[in-house]
């Protein structure tokens, strides 16, 4: 329904524009001076309106393109007003004739074209209004003085001869400047909403086409000037749509576009911050829980060791228990340090010698492999991948350690890899244990979640795995069915 209303509104608006342009053309055939005055008066009113909109909203306007263009329109409109009053037949300025009005025309167009070319470079930069106003005031004063007082502005029109070479060349230069301005604006399209950008670019294109007509007329009353003024009218109408109508009726789209985008980014950041806070809560709970139990055990053992009636064998057994508990605490602290390192560090990227990494992992876990009487199968060759060897070693060590614990009795474990179509390499550890339910799989890689909710783990290993792999540009996961074993995998960029 809304699309139909919009379609009919655009249709009626287009018919109205065609009717107005047709009416103005008829007026030009009977009274060209009236036609010219109507067109110029419209552009002056629109230009002044754009200035007031930009100036009165400058404190809220965070798009410097719109701000600079709006301020420039005040000075362009002043020159256009003088151009209209100096036009042949107006009788305001008795000296100068058509040449005076064309000089003012060229001055106004160069000021406008220069503004449109320069404004994109100020997007996202700090702008001092006092400097902008001073610059436009000086340039406008120089133009007016050179035309009215000093008489050193180049001649643009000679009665009985027509346009001078300077005027014709200037018009073609203006065409190029307007096209350049449209190109530069498109490069900065991220700073505008789509409809505003489209209207402004169309307006600039209309200006360029109009200047092409103004470069070829023989007299100020022929058909080329009529076409040029009508296109100029359309250009200002499009700018009116972009800056005034759209700005007033839907101000958030022209004035607060960047603010809206910032709000969306802030909401995303807030969500991310909330997730981080939840993660920190889980982290604090994990640390407290994992350290509290061994600390309690050590304190109880130390208290028991004070018993003077304890035999040497009992005391020795107690010391071994304290040492084992301390080692467990040391492992937890090492895991926490590893987690912190991964979170804050940027690891170098290098070609991984996966065979050497796995050999190091087997040496680290040799006593566990022997104790479990595990059967482990390794591939003869590994696909080339890129990462950071110490971190990748931790990934393999965590996966293989879990497989030794939960891969069956005795555990039969397979390690392998395959190249993926997206250029990455997928590595895996497969076991033939009891498998993992989908509910447990969804939580395994979260901070503080113990493998299979049992065992002597500290709930940090798989969380470290996920962060390591993601930091290296890959993804970690698990594929498992209850009763059919599990496959823990991770991906890394290929060489």
Same domain, 216 and 280: no
- How many independent structural domains does the chain possess? 3
Q: Given this model, what pLDDT does residue 248 score?
A: 47
Q: What is the pLDDT of residues 229-277, one digit of tens each?
A: 899 999 988 888 887 655 544 544 554 555 666 677 777 777 777 766 6
Same domain, 336 and 351: no
Instruction: Say which CATH number the domain at 267 has.
Output: 1.10.287
Instruction: Say which CATH number the domain at 363 has.
Output: 3.30.565.10
Angle (nearest 5°) at CA 231 between 111 and 223: 110
Is the pLDDT at 396 greater than 60? The verdict is: yes
333: nearest Cα among 399, 400, 287: 287
Query: Has residue 443 been placed in a domain?
Result: yes
Same domain, 338 and 403: no
* Residue 107 near residue 80, CB atoms below 8 Å: no
Cα torsion angle, 253, 255, 257, 262, sign: negative
Same domain, 427 and 291: no
Give the Cβ contact number of residue 349 at 10 Å.
13
Query: Has residue 24 been placed in a domain?
Result: no
Gap between the Cα atoms of 410 and 408, Å rounded: 5
Task: State the average pLDDT over residues 311-328.
Answer: 72
Gap between the Cα atoms of 60 and 406, Å rounded: 62
Task: State the average pLDDT over residues 109-130.
Answer: 89
Same domain, 43 and 113: yes
Q: Given this model, what pLDDT does residue 283 score?
A: 59
Last residue within a domain, chosen from 206, 221, 255: 255
474: nearest Cα among 488, 494, 445, 459: 494
Gap between the Cα atoms of 375 and 288, Å rounded: 36
User: What distances in angstroms separate CA 59 from CA 62, 128, 193, 255, one per listed residue?
Assistant: 8, 12, 20, 10
Tokens of 469: 């792999």
Last residue within a domain, chosen from 255, 280, 299: 255
Same domain, 207 and 182: yes
Lowest-pLDDT choice from 244-258, 350-364, 416-430: 244-258
* pLDDT band per the 50, 70, 90 thresholds, residue 467: confident
Lowest-pLDDT choice from 216-225, 254-263, 315-324: 254-263
Is 117 or 220 the better-scoring residue by pLDDT? 117
Query: Has residue 7 been placed in a domain?
Result: no
Same domain, 271 and 363: no
Query: Has residue 20 been placed in a domain?
Result: no
Indicate the SS3 state at residue 429.
Answer: strand
Average pLDDT over the chain, rounded to an integer: 81
Lowest-pLDDT choice from 281-295, 430-444, 469-483: 281-295
Same domain, 226 and 363: no
Strands, E assignment, 35-149: none
Strands, E assignment, 367-485: 375-377, 386-387, 412-419, 424-431, 476-480
Instruction: Say which CATH number the domain at 174 has.
Output: 1.20.1070
* Residue 436 near residue 452, CB atoms below 8 Å: yes
Query: Has residue 4 been placed in a domain?
Result: no
Same domain, 326 and 390: no
Same domain, 266 and 325: yes
Is the pLDDT at 341 greater than 70? The verdict is: no
Query: Has residue 6 been placed in a domain?
Result: no
Same domain, 422 and 495: yes
Q: Given this model, what pLDDT does residue 128 score?
A: 84
Query: Has residue 321 been placed in a domain?
Result: yes
Is the pLDDT at 228 greater than 70? The verdict is: yes
* pLDDT band per the 50, 70, 90 thresholds, residue 452: very low
DSSP states along 372-393: HT-EEE--S----BEE-HHHHH
- What residues does 480 pair with on adjacent strands? 486
Last residue within a domain, chosen from 345, 367, 387: 345
Strands, E assignment, 258-381: 350-351, 375-377
* pLDDT band per the 50, 70, 90 thresholds, residue 159: confident
* pLDDT band per the 50, 70, 90 thresholds, residue 349: confident
Same domain, 94 and 234: yes
Q: 350: buried, middle or exposed (CB in 10 Å: 19+, 13-18, 0-12)?
A: exposed
Indicate the SS3 state at residue 490.
Answer: strand
Task: State the average pLDDT over residues 214-230.
Answer: 78
Q: Are strands 386-387 and 350-351 parallel, antiparallel or unpaired?
A: antiparallel
Lowest-pLDDT choice from 63-67, 148-152, 163-167, 251-255: 251-255
Domain carrying residue 281: 260-345
Q: Given this model, what pLDDT does residue 288 score?
A: 60
Query: Has residue 283 been placed in a domain?
Result: yes
Is 333 or 67 the better-scoring residue by pLDDT? 67
């Amino acid at each position: 329904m809304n699309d139909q209303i919009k379609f009919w509104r655009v249709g009626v608006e287009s018919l109205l524009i065609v009717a107005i342009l047709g009416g103005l053309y008829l007026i030009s055939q009977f009274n060209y001076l009236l036609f010219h005055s109507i067109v110029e008066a419209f552009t002056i009113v629109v230009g002044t309106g754009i200035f007031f909109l930009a100036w009165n909203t400058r404190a809220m306007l965070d798009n410097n393109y719109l701000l600079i263009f709006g301020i420039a329109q005040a000075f362009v409109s002043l020159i256009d007003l003088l151009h209209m009053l100096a036009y042949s037949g107006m009788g305001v300025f008795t000296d100068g004739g058509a040449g005076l009005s064309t000089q003012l025309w060229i001055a106004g167009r160069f000021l406008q074209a220069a503004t449109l070319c320069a404004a994109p470079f100020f997007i996202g930069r700090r702008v001092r209004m006092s400097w902008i106003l001073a610059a436009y005031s000086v340039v406008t004063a120089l133009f007016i003085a050179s035309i009215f007082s000093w008489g050193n502005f180049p001649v643009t029109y000679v009665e009985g001869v027509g346009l001078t070479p300077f005027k014709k060349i200037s018009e073609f230069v203006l065409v190029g400047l307007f096209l350049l301005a449209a190109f530069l604006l498109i490069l900065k399209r991220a700073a505008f909403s789509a409809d505003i950008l489209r209207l402004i670019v169309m307006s600039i294109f209309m200006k360029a086409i109009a200047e092409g007509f103004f470069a070829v007329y023989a007299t100020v009353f022929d058909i080329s000037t009529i076409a040029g003024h009508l296109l100029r009218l359309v250009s200002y109408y499009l700018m009116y749509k972009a800056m005034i109508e759209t700005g007033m009726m839907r101000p958030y789209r022209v004035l607060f576009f960047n603010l809206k985008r910032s709000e969306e980014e802030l909401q995303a950041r807030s969500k991310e911050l909330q997730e981080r806070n939840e993660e920190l809560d889980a982290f604090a709970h994990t640390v407290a829980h994992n350290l509290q139990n061994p600390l309690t055990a050590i304190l109880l053992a130390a208290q028991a060791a004070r018993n003077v009636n304890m035999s040497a064998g009992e005391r020795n057994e107690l010391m071994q228990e304290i040492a084992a508990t301390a080692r467990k605490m040391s492992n937890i602290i090492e895991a926490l340090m590893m987690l912190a390192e991964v979170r804050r560090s940027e690891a170098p990227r290098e070609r991984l010698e996966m065979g050497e990494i796995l050999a190091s992992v087997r040496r680290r876990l040799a006593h566990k492999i022997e104790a479990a009487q595990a059967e482990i199968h390794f591939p003869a060759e590994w696909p080339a991948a890129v990462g950071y060897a110490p971190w990748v070693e931790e990934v393999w060590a965590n996966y293989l350690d879990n497989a030794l614990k939960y891969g069956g009795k005795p555990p039969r474990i397979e390690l392998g890899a395959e190249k993926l179509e997206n250029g990455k390499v997928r590595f895996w550890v497969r076991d033939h244990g009891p498998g993992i339910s989908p509910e447990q799989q969804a939580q395994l890689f979260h901070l503080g979640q113990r493998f299979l909710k049992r065992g002597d783990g500290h709930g940090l290993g798989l969380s470290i795995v996920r962060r390591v792999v993601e930091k290296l540009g890959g993804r970690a996961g698990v594929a498992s069915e209850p009763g059919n074993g599990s496959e823990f995998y991770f991906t890394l960029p290929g060489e």
